[in-house]
Chain A
Amino acid sequence: MSIVAALFRRELRSYFATPVAYVFIVIFLILMGTFTFYLGGFYERGQADLSAFFNYHPWLYLFLVPAIAMRLWAEERKTGSVELLMTLPITPWQAVLGKYLAAWAFTGIALILTFPIWVTVNYLGDPDNGAILAAYVGSFLMAGGFLAIGACLSATTRNQVIAFVLTVVVCFGFLLAGFPLVLDLFSAWAPQTIVDGVASLSFLTHFANISKGVIDFRDLVYFALLIAVFLFANTIILQWKQAD
């Protein structure tokens, strides 16, 4: 565990050693604010809740989370430091977990820094803070899901642009898995059970429940499983690429 902690600390510190962290956080907060107030019509709705805020999280994550995830392994491979890392006495699983948790914690920090919106809504009205907390948890889990997909795809290439584009496409697929755009790809040839299976993978459906303040055990399990599966795939890809 101390090895995962060491990797975690190194990784998280390196975000803040470069402008990446600051640029990301500033852009993230500006876009969050813009979406909430202009597109979401936070004031116009006249309701003391944050749905105008949370509704845009999936779309913002679609582009911002891959930007964090793309460097996780692609950069290590590009600079060759992956050779240094993977010849230290650590297991691939520890390396994957340490790096992933650092990136996830980083998105968590960005998310926490949106607290002024929560202060605002509490100042203006009397919202259900339990529901807001639940939505924050859901948003954090969803970011973790995006990130796990991105980490896994980042391990497939040494090119960060490719990692970014692949991640956006795959995340977009997961986001809209419950919608005709994706389902039509399957309904033409696959049996109904598969179509239903794909539909149940939708980020939007699972997030919609949590963002309303309803924490369903099944939604938690969904995100936990998704993260576990992609991190497992990440270690496999890492070892497989290493054999070359």
Chain B
Amino acid sequence: MQPRTVTKTSARVLLMIEIDGLTKRYGQHTVVDNLSFSCSAGEVLGFLGPNGAGKSTTMKMITGFVTPNSGTASVCGHSIGEDALAARQHLGYLPEGAPCYPEMTPKSFLDFIADVRGLSGERRKARLDEVTEQLHLGPVLDQSIETLSKGFKRRVGLAQAILHDPAVLILDEPTDGLDPNQKHEVRELIRSMSADKLIVISTHILEEVEAVCSRAIIIASGRILADDTPAQLAAASRYHNAVRLTLGDDANFDEIRSALGRLGSVKETESNREQLSITAIAQPGGRAVGPWREIAERVAASNWNVASLQLEGGRLDEVFRQITKGKEA
């Protein structure tokens, strides 16, 4: 009996979010449909889906803001339905659009959050200093939030979510409205925090998933359509292992194109004459490296004017479209 209990507890500690059969209906419309998944510390879970797929609603149900019609969600072993307060102690949440109190300053706002989170003494000061530093809020601490740029507002929202150093972070579109540099910084921040936390982000920016996520769940119409690592998802793309050639001139464009098309490892070619590019798509189920070696040898043996040769890992956006379009209707 004893060892079994131990296993159970350790499994609980590991599984930071457990979702079972979560369903939400608004009238006749089912927004989230019998969703189940679980995830553990160290993961950065990307929640992908077209607008209206149920991403935000799912997040609202995990944080207990929206009550599901059926199903359960628990955070660090605490059911959000039965013990919401304990679950929320372990949870940091950035709601969609990063709502704040516009008349407050970031300083007074974070002080308020620290009060509510029960931070005091040394730890309170250390945490406030740390998040101010991490999100570069120093220069605007005493300015009212309504006068801040969108980027700063978002960062105030993030600061609020991570202030108590929660085990589980739920961020609804954390980089929305940020410029490329700020996006990069937020992604760095997410990566740096991910080792001992579970971070769930929703986004429709696919490069973000490739940049920070260790796991991606694609949902549409409230159902999970794919659940895998970003690399594995991209591997389902027809561009996986494809080779892209760029030519120096279009002298023998057609000749090269048809020569590539005849190679055994190439399924078909796509070309763009204006950009002088030809993409050779790999035969499905071919060798792991695809047509790369064959094309490289062919290019070396020829006198073609090839400017560059690129191996593609697969296009996540294409997979995303394929998955969500195919099953949404």
The answer to whether A and B assemble together is yes
In the complex, B104 has a CB within 8 A of chain A: yes
B116 & A88 in contact (Cβ 8 Å cutoff): yes
Within 8 A of A (CB), among B101-126: 101-104, 108, 112-113, 115-118
Helix, strand, loop or mixed for chain A's interface? helix
A87 & B88 in contact (Cβ 8 Å cutoff): yes
Work out how many contacts link A and B, with CB atoms closer than 8 A. 72
User: Chain A residues with Cβ under 8 A from B99's Cβ?
Assistant: 79-81, 83-84
A17 & B104 in contact (Cβ 8 Å cutoff): yes
A84 & B95 in contact (Cβ 8 Å cutoff): yes
Within 8 A of B (CB), among A190-244: 242-244
Contacts A88-B88, A88-B113, A90-B116; is A17 near B103 (CB within 8 Å)?
A: yes
Q: Please classify how large the interface on chain B is, using the bins under 10, 10 to 19, 20 to 34, 35 or more.
A: 20 to 34
Bound-state Cα–Cα, A9 to B108, Å:
10
In the complex, A47 has a CB within 8 A of chain B: no
Bound-state Cα–Cα, A6 to B66, Å:
24
Count of chain A residues with a beta carbon within 8 Å of a chain B beta carbon: 25
Of the residues A5, A18, A89, contact of B85 by C-beta under 8 Å: A89
A89 & B64 in contact (Cβ 8 Å cutoff): no
User: Chain B residues with Cβ under 8 A from A2's Cβ?
Assistant: 115, 118
B116 & A6 in contact (Cβ 8 Å cutoff): yes
A14 & B103 in contact (Cβ 8 Å cutoff): yes
In the complex, A91 has a CB within 8 A of chain B: yes
Bound-state Cα–Cα, A243 to B61, Å:
9
Within 8 A of B (CB), among A33-87: 79-81, 83-84, 86-87
Of the residues B96, B101, B116, contact of A89 by C-beta under 8 Å: B116
Contacts A87-B88, A244-B26; is A80 near B66 (CB within 8 Å)?
A: no
Bound-state Cα–Cα, A217 to B244, Å:
88
Task: Provide the A75-116 mask, 1 if CB < 8 A to any CB of B, else 0.
Answer: 000011101101111110000000000000000000000000
A6 & B115 in contact (Cβ 8 Å cutoff): yes
Which of A6, A7, A244 lies at the interface centre, i.e. has the most chain B CB atoms within 10 A of its CB? A6
In the complex, B37 has a CB within 8 A of chain A: no
Contacts A14-B104, A17-B103, A244-B26; is A6 near B112 (CB within 8 Å)?
A: yes
User: Chain B residues with Cβ under 8 A from A89's Cβ?
Assistant: 85, 88-89, 116-117
Nearest CB in chain B to that of A7: its residue: B116
Bound-state Cα–Cα, A18 to B112, Å:
18
A84 & B104 in contact (Cβ 8 Å cutoff): no
Nearest CB in chain A to that of B120: its residue: A2
Within 8 A of A (CB), among B29-85: 60, 63-67, 85
Within 8 A of A (CB), among B136-182: 144, 160
Task: Provide the A13-35 mask, 1 if CB < 8 A to any CB of B, else 0.
Answer: 11001100000000000000000
Q: For residue B1, give the distance in angstroms from its CB to the closest CB of chain A.
A: 34
A87 & B103 in contact (Cβ 8 Å cutoff): no
Q: For residue A18, give the distance in angstroms from its CB to the closest CB of chain B.
A: 5
Q: For residue A242, give the distance in angstroms from its CB to the closest CB of chain B.
A: 6
Of the residues A3, A7, A87, A90, contact of B95 by C-beta under 8 Å: A87
Q: For residue A160, give the distance in angstroms from its CB to the closest CB of chain B.
A: 15
Contacts A86-B65, A89-B88, A91-B85; is A14 near B101 (CB within 8 Å)?
A: yes
User: Chain B residues with Cβ under 8 A from A3's Cβ?
Assistant: 115-116
Q: For residue B235, give the distance in angstroms from its CB to the closest CB of chain A.
A: 37
Nearest CB in chain A to that of B112: its residue: A10
B60 & A83 in contact (Cβ 8 Å cutoff): yes
Instruction: List 15 extra interface pairs beyond A88-B117, A89-B117, CB under 8 A.
Output: A5-B115, A10-B115, A13-B104, A14-B101, A14-B103, A79-B101, A80-B99, A81-B99, A83-B60, A84-B93, A84-B99, A86-B65, A89-B89, A90-B85, A243-B66
Q: List 23 A-B contacts (CB under 8 A).
A: A2-B115, A3-B116, A6-B116, A9-B112, A13-B104, A14-B104, A17-B104, A18-B103, A79-B99, A80-B95, A81-B100, A83-B65, A83-B95, A84-B95, A84-B99, A86-B64, A87-B64, A87-B88, A88-B116, A89-B89, A90-B116, A242-B66, A243-B67
